[in-house]
Amino acid sequence: MNDKTTQRIYAMRVGGVYPMYIQKAEKKGRTKDEVDEVMRWHTGYDQASLDSIFESEMNFEQFFNEAPNLNPNRSLITGTVCGVRVEDIEDSIVREVRYLDKLIDELAKGRPMEKILRS
């Protein structure tokens, strides 16, 4: 992954991508609440904080650097997103974004929530 792509990912506004996560999930019969649950599990943000972030200009770099409690089980997330194995991504912010992408993909594919949340 080149520096330009990495910088673009860092700068993406969380609130700008969030509607796409919901759209992807809802297209496959999942819900906004399930998207929010996945995001809370991954980051430790509560729902009020997430709602505020979605309305703000916060980018992914800030979102993950300020996350209250990144779930230690997120390292169990494996597989590919955009043709790249998430467990092989060296940049920590890009890896967190791709973990989130992978969780949303699993949600959209109908995987049971307890498996998505690595319970």
Question: What pLDDT, in 10s, does the model give residues 66-115?
Answer: 999 999 999 999 999 988 899 999 999 999 999 999 999 999 999 999 99
User: What is d(CA 20, CA 18) in angstroms, rounded to the nearest whole number?
Assistant: 5
pTM of the predicted model as reported, rounded to 2 decimal places: 0.93
CA distance 99 to 113: 15
The letter for the amino acid at 119 is S
Name all domains of the chain by residue range, CATH numbers in brackets: 3-116 (1.10.8.290)
Three-class secondary structure of residue 76 per DSSP? helix
Per residue in 33-58, pLDDT (tens digit) is: 999 999 999 999 999 999 999 999 99
